[in-house]
Amino acid sequence: MSTTLTDLAAAAAGPAVRRRRRPRVPGGVALGLLALFVLLSIFGPWIWGGAAGATNIPDANQSSSAEHWLGTDDLGRDLLARTLYATRSSLVLAVLATVVGGIVGVALGLLSGVSQRLGRVLGAVINLLMAFPALLLSIFFAVLFGIGSVGSVLAVGAAFAPGFARITQTLTASAVSRDYVEASKVLGKSPLYVVLRHILPNIAEPVILYTTIHIGTAILALSGLSFLGLGVQPPAYDWGRLLSDGLTRVYISPLAAIGPSVAIVLAGLTFNLAGEHLSDLVGGRRSAPGTVTDPVPVAAGPAVGAPRDAVVPGDDTPARSSAPAVPVVAPLLEVRGLRVLYPGADGGTVTPVRDVSFSLAPGETVGIVGESGSGKSMATSAIAQLVEAPGSVRAEVLTFDGIDLAERSRANESVLGRSMAMIFQDPGEALNPAIKIGTHLIEPAVVHLHQSKPVARGRAVEALRAVAINDPERRYDQHQHELSGGMKQRACIAVGLMGEPKLLIADEPTTALDVTVQRQILRLIADVRAESGASVLFISHDIAVVAEISDRILVMYAGFVVEEATADELLARPAHPYTSLLLAASPDMGVDRSAPLPMLDGRMPGPDVDLPGCYFAARCPRADQTCVDRRPPLLQIGAPAHRAACWHPLAGTAPTPTEEVAR
């Protein structure tokens, strides 16, 4: 009858994975019974207190009668009155024990969910404790904490804590991987803030449901302890104590034992059913998000008042900036020899990012393209300081807006939080569902620009308007589930505008959106760039999408930049065979659509593979022994801004070996 962790996780996840397995007792019955028990525990002692405590020796040990339905005890006290009176103590102790277990378990679960190392140790302890039945653990802890009400509450709480820790750990592990937690880290928030602000509100619902259900189990556990003489001690009593006393005279008056037994079973069932009903209600509520459709963006004009010359009226193509192809001013971002390393399974090292070097001028848009697993996201995570232990980031140079990102300091974190904004692939993941859109928006302004909330609110409404969200005042107070996918992504871009954005990192921002919305978002990013002057690092596996928005393009393969050129040059004269195959495989790039797409045979070497030569050699139609034996450096090929790492670049793009890129 108890609801399982899976049920709770399913309820938390939403209707898509929620299962209905059996006919349920109507929710109204469960809630009605719950209300009855609550009323009994409040008013019971007032109503039946006198009868429950009044001794009457001549009436002692009577069996059931019209006057005493459950009979009397050895002091002549009415057992029905005592059973009703004991509702308060039984329920209050059960609630206290569950709360104790909940607080301890949730704290342990949060700790193990946010710290991987601590998580492993705590996880082992939790697993060990979960191997024992809770009732057995309660008896063990009751002996440890001492006999009596306090000891039994602590014992049952301690026995429940592993279950709470397990569900919290599971929910936290899922919550910490959400993009809005990553975004919060970009803003430089402390782990405590992240836990309180982003994790706790999102796990609260299933944890509360779990608590409700466990009150029923706590009633059984505490009654069991009292029955065994380990719980409530005379003259105090609860249902377990009454059951224990009733059993001694079960042959005289069976109802003396049956009365408290029925109370225990009924109360236990009531809390379980009420928990299940709440769980259903939560699932039902989530199934009606009231999603609205994406509005057509503000006609042809730029969303944030971009200069008219940046946009051709009626043209839906995102405008490229007139920024120079090669940075001639001091770069905003300078990356040289960037590597990301993780410990491997066999004690070795895996290197998802092996060698990335590039620079980004103020106002410039650089696209990073490459097939899945080439290290695009990992490289930008390293730039945004989002690579966490056990991963480590190495770089010869890694500077942003004049600060050395290798130095972790509060001042640096503040610059990052203010000036760097991330736009993630799935806007639904990037916005915390428990927090209003407006709260997401004002955070960067309040935390990093120290603006007052009213000022930040004014700016937030303007930012929503700037990204073409209609009725921004109303949207400000809504939650993410009330917005369509395109609107959510617009809201995420608006969050980025709330600081002083100098760099927008957009990691596949259109992949999760449908095709028409994709183009609106691409255009919006181009407009935002034109208006704010921010640089953009735009990641996609789709070279056609990258080419539309970027001034320059980096092509990544197996953790290396294998080619770099202006967008026009790359499309017209790809030098690396891999780039050429990527272009040929993209149906949007003007290739003959009737011809079959060339397939890239073989697989990209994983981050655990260490090769002396070119990582593309095994799949390359032009490869020879030199490619297998020696790694090609990134060399200038033809045009000044065009570089490729290839011993045999494509015709018409002769290498210039003397101009090897300094690293």
Ligand X SMILES: Nc1ncnc2c1ncn2[C@@H]1O[C@H](COP(=O)(O)OP(=O)(O)OP(=O)(O)O)[C@@H](O)[C@H]1O
Binding footprint of ligand X on the chain (CB under 6 A): 342, 350, 352, 370, 372-378, 391, 541, 606-607
> Which residue lies nearer to ligand X by CB, 231 or 370?
370
Output the smallest distance, CB 378 to ligand X, in A: 3
Output the smallest distance, CB 525 to ligand X, in A: 18
Output the smallest distance, CB 348 to ligand X, in A: 12
Output the smallest distance, CB 591 to ligand X, in A: 22
Reported for 512-518, long-range contacts at CB under 8 A and 24+ positions apart, including other chains, are 512/425, 512/426, 512/427, 512/428, 512/485, 513/485, 513/486, 513/489, 514/485, 517/294, 517/485, 517/486, 517/489, 518/545
Output the smallest distance, CB 562 to ligand X, in A: 13
Q: Which bin fits 347, alpha (ψ -120 to 50), beta or left (φ > 0)? A: left
Q: How far apart are CA 150 and CA 541, in angstroms?
A: 61
> Which residue lies nearer to ligand X by CB, 360 or 555?
555
Task: Tell me which amino acid residue 68 is.
Answer: H
> Which residue lies nearer to ligand X by CB, 138 or 374?
374
Output the smallest distance, CB 406 to ligand X, in A: 20
Output the smallest distance, CB 512 to ligand X, in A: 12
Contact predicate 522/440, CB 8 Å: no
DSSP element (H, E) containing 356: strand 349-360
Output the smallest distance, CB 117 to ligand X, in A: 15
My answer on whether omega of the bond before 633 falls inside 30° of 0, hence cis, is: no
Tokens of 269: 């069932």
My answer on whether omega of the bond before 433 falls inside 30° of 0, hence cis, is: no
> Which residue lies nearer to ligand X by CB, 166 or 541?
541
Phi/psi for 527 (5° steps) reads: -65, -40
Q: How far apart are CA 273 and CA 515, in angstroms?
A: 45
> Which residue lies nearer to ligand X by CB, 372 or 594?
372
Coil, strand or helix at 446: helix
Q: Which residue is nearest to ligand X (CB)?
A: 352
CB-based burial of residue 542 (10 Å sphere; 0-12 exposed, 13-18 middle, 19+ buried)? middle
> Which residue lies nearer to ligand X by CB, 361 or 545?
545
CB-based burial of residue 307 (10 Å sphere; 0-12 exposed, 13-18 middle, 19+ buried)? exposed
Tokens 């705590």 found at: 122
Output the smallest distance, CB 426 to ligand X, in A: 12
DSSP element (H, E) containing 608: none
Three-state helix/strand/coil letters over 548-575 = HHCCEEEEEECCEEEEEEEHHHHHHCCC
Tokens of 169: 């750990």
> Which residue lies nearer to ligand X by CB, 85 or 424?
424
> Which residue lies nearer to ligand X by CB, 76 or 391?
391
Output the smallest distance, CB 537 to ligand X, in A: 12
> Which residue lies nearer to ligand X by CB, 148 or 391?
391
> Which residue lies nearer to ligand X by CB, 333 or 530?
333
Residues across the chain: 663
> Which residue lies nearer to ligand X by CB, 41 or 579?
579
Output the smallest distance, CB 375 to ligand X, in A: 4
Coil, strand or helix at 368: strand
Coil, strand or helix at 243: helix
Coil, strand or helix at 381: helix
DSSP string, 254-288: THHHHHHHHHHHHHHHHHHHHHHHHHHHHHHHHT-
> Which residue lies nearer to ligand X by CB, 101 or 370?
370
- Closest by CA position to 495, among listed 534, 537, 437, 543: 437
- Closest by CA position to 12, among listed 213, 269, 212, 285: 285
Output the smallest distance, CB 340 to ligand X, in A: 8
> Which residue lies nearer to ligand X by CB, 209 or 379?
379
Q: Tell how many helices (H) and how many strands (E) occur in the chain.
A: 23, 14
Output the smallest distance, CB 379 to ligand X, in A: 7
- Closest by CA position to 653, among listed 624, 599, 641: 641
Phi/psi for 643 (5° steps) reads: -130, 150
Output the smallest distance, CB 504 to ligand X, in A: 17
Contact predicate 183/424, CB 8 Å: yes
On the CB side of 1, CA atoms within 13 Å amount to: 16
